[in-house]
Amino acid sequence: MSDVKFNGNRLREARRFRMKSITDLADEIGVTKQMISKYENNKAVPSLEILFQIINILKFPREFFFGEDTFHMETEGTFFRSRLTSTQKEKKPSEFTKNMTVVIRDFLENYIDFPTLPVKPNTDDFESIEALAYQVRKDFGLSDKPISNILRILEEQGFVVALISNNMDRVDAFSSQTKINGNVYYTVVLEGVDYSYYRQQFSVAHELGHWVLHSEVLDPQSLDKGEYKEMEEEANEFAACFMLPKESFSKDIGLDPLNLDYYVNLKKKWQVSIGAMVMRAFNLGLISNEDYQKLQRQISYRKWRTSEPLDNIKSISKPIALKQSTELLVENNIFKGHEIPKEILKHYNLLLPTDFIEEITNVEHGYLEYAEPQIVTLISKKENRNKA
């Protein structure tokens, strides 16, 4: 690889993905932060010794740091849930994760027939978010009944969904429409596992709201604080309308709208949090402001702000589309597991860490690692009889 140039931008991406500042990396390697900056801006090339330290610290393969991308990627900007309190340091790894998830999905698309992303309804044709949410339900073939697993519905509709370990304290999920080599994907990435299934349901619906209301319309990174807050409120409203359809949900709530224990039973049916249902009941005018405040005080008194009843009974849902696709390639002998990272390298000139690909595709740890062939010693029947 001596004829391939060191790529400082790749170093920057790997450093940010591991959530290290220039100073952090410089201190660990034992060079100045100015030198790290020179590496990243292609004004200097690390020695072999320094390169080995970079590889060891950042846990990226050597080939990742060399050569240029052989793909063209465009993004409209990423919608971060809780973006108003998240930091740039937290968002940079998310951008990398989202972009690489698109690369992996685009690679798999060469071999697997995925569902096609649906045509988005024109928001100008609808008077309210309520009506728009109803139309999306109709387009997805859903009735007004509860949705038991919205994550699976999105995968069936052609959305790219990934679940990653929790690198950020203040970001639950993020999504973006991305084009790579002319192919368009809408990707939803969920952060962490330390939250309830019911909270996950709403988070996924929130990201669906961004696709419906804001993708191809707004650049989220160009909005000021007030505009971004308004956009987030719209996505929340869509999520509530989509998960809790007005007519059928109103009939259920109308039976006992002021009894907090009744909401526990409704949670089993509607598969969203009690807090979300109370808010929806208030927004629909099914309970007064005074009654809403009383219910909120009861929620606080019962300490349901952080953990509600039933939260510890049901595990969060995990994506399966990328997992099944990767396993199909291996089980049908298209590639051996350890060949997949190398095939991505061939297609995109990008060698990603194997454990990163395993996490994005949700396959078992070690599934894409090379396994030494086992040597089996054959003992003749005669020798077996003699031993017996």
Q: How far apart are CA 175 and CA 99, in angstroms?
A: 11
| pLDDT of amino acid 195 | 84
| pLDDT of amino acid 173 | 85
Q: How far apart are CA 361 and CA 350, in angstroms?
A: 17
| pLDDT of amino acid 94 | 85
Residue pair 173/98 in contact by the 8 Å Cβ criterion: no
Instruction: Give the domain ranges of the chain.
Output: 8-65, 73-301
Q: How far apart are CA 313 and CA 359, in angstroms?
A: 24
DSSP 8-state secondary structure symbol assigned to residue 143:
-
Q: Write out the two tokens for 374.
A: 């086992």
Nearest to 71 by CA among 106, 95, 97, 111: 106
| pLDDT of amino acid 378 | 55
Give per-residue pLDDT as tens, 331-370.
999 999 999 999 999 999 999 999 999 999 999 999 999 8
Say whether pTM exceeds 0.85: yes
| pLDDT of amino acid 385 | 55
| pLDDT of amino acid 374 | 64
Q: How far apart are CA 108 and CA 340, in angstroms?
A: 10
Q: Write out the two tokens for 350.
A: 């990008």
Q: Is 299 helix (H, G, I), strand (E, B) or coil?
A: helix
Residue pair 40/69 in contact by the 8 Å Cβ criterion: no
Q: How far apart are CA 247 and CA 253, in angstroms?
A: 10
Q: Write out the two tokens for 169.
A: 């304290």
Q: Write out the two tokens for 30.
A: 């034992």
Q: Which fold has domain 8-65?
A: 434 Repressor (Amino-terminal Domain) (1.10.260)
Q: Is 145 helix (H, G, I), strand (E, B) or coil?
A: coil
Give me the residues of the chain with pLDDT under 50, please: 1-2
Cβ neighbour number for residue 16 with a 10 Å cutoff = 19
| pLDDT of amino acid 91 | 73
Q: How far apart are CA 292 and CA 388, in angstroms?
A: 80
Q: How far apart are CA 193 and CA 172, in angstroms?
A: 10
Alpha helices in 214-259 (DSSP H): 225-243, 246-253
